[in-house]
Structure 1
């Protein structure tokens, strides 16, 4: 099981621990809240197998772009979803809307700080960590997101 701890801004799986960045707006399940949901989930889909590190995805589809700092400066308002996506599906009544809210674990620009909140609801990881996790988890893998 993947364990995500919001208070510690960390993700643990099979003895490995990674720094993450969860929602700037805190935790919650309301549509449009830009909050990270809590509770029990499963990985509904894995997207991006074999994409180049830094590949940009929009609507879960690769755009053909590879993220660079220059691209980031050109498009400062984009919410960068890079490299790989693990799409989460809520398993409890309060978080059943998670998949419809497009809440993912995904790669982000490596210059983005980890260990601090900052996302729009998703769980962000540095790209090398995202690839390492993506390569060892399966669709259906259980995920728990806790506040502390």
Structure 2
């Protein structure tokens, strides 16, 4: 991982610590467009994702997916129906459909569940104009018509709705999330 941080062991510290404690943690591999869920060092599941169309980066307004150590700060949408539409982290009462999309062209669809991320590295992804939480970076569901494996988001990590439901049930507030340009396994 790049970014000029000192002593971070290529950004692997948080998952390595979680692995040593046997904790559940997430590693997002931007190059592979994959999200991996671990319990300790054991891979539990792997999901295709779509990350920032503008690549990796931490700056507000960049449209990039932030790198480094994060945690799940909030979990939104428990019990919501698949395809529930969220705006400002609140359900709108709508359910996504192609007809609804046709009435709102260009809308950035945030569906089903939201895992709101908070950066854990002051000066890199926390604080100032590089703050993941203030950038409203989420792991969230998206329309089935959106391709996975291709960076197309505005910086968030998009998942299939059934995948975000499954992931949501397996993590909790405070779960470590490492976002890497390229994961080593």
Which range, TM-score by smaller chain?
A: over 0.9
Which of structures 1 and 2 has the bigger CA Rg?
A: 2
Structure 1 unaligned residues grouped into runs of 5+: none
- Asked if 1:79 is matched to 2:108, the reply is yes
Structure 2 unaligned residues grouped into runs of 5+: 1-24, 39-43
- Number of the residue aligned with 1:63: 92
- Number of the residue aligned with 2:55: 26
Count of matched residue pairs = 148
**SS of alignment partner, residue 113 of structure 1:** coil
Equivalent-residue separation in structure 2 for 1:6 and 1:52 (angstroms): 28
- Number of the residue aligned with 1:95: 125
Structure number with higher strand proportion: 1
CA positional deviation for 1:144: 0.2
- Number of the residue aligned with 1:137: 171
- The TM-score normalised by the length of structure 2 is 0.79
Equivalent-residue separation in structure 1 for 2:160 and 2:102 (angstroms): 18
Equivalent-residue separation in structure 1 for 2:165 and 2:98 (angstroms): 20
- Asked if 1:121 is matched to 2:155, the reply is yes
Higher relative contact order (CA 8 A, sep 6+): 1
- Asked if 1:11 is matched to 2:45, the reply is no
Alpha-carbon displacement from aligned partner over 1:115-138 (angstroms, at most 9, x marks no partner) = 110000000001000000001100
- Number of the residue aligned with 1:51: 80
CA positional deviation for 1:103: 0.2
Structure number with higher helix proportion: 2
- The TM-score normalised by the length of structure 1 is 0.98
- Asked if 1:109 is matched to 2:143, the reply is yes
Equivalent-residue separation in structure 2 for 1:128 and 1:69 (angstroms): 18
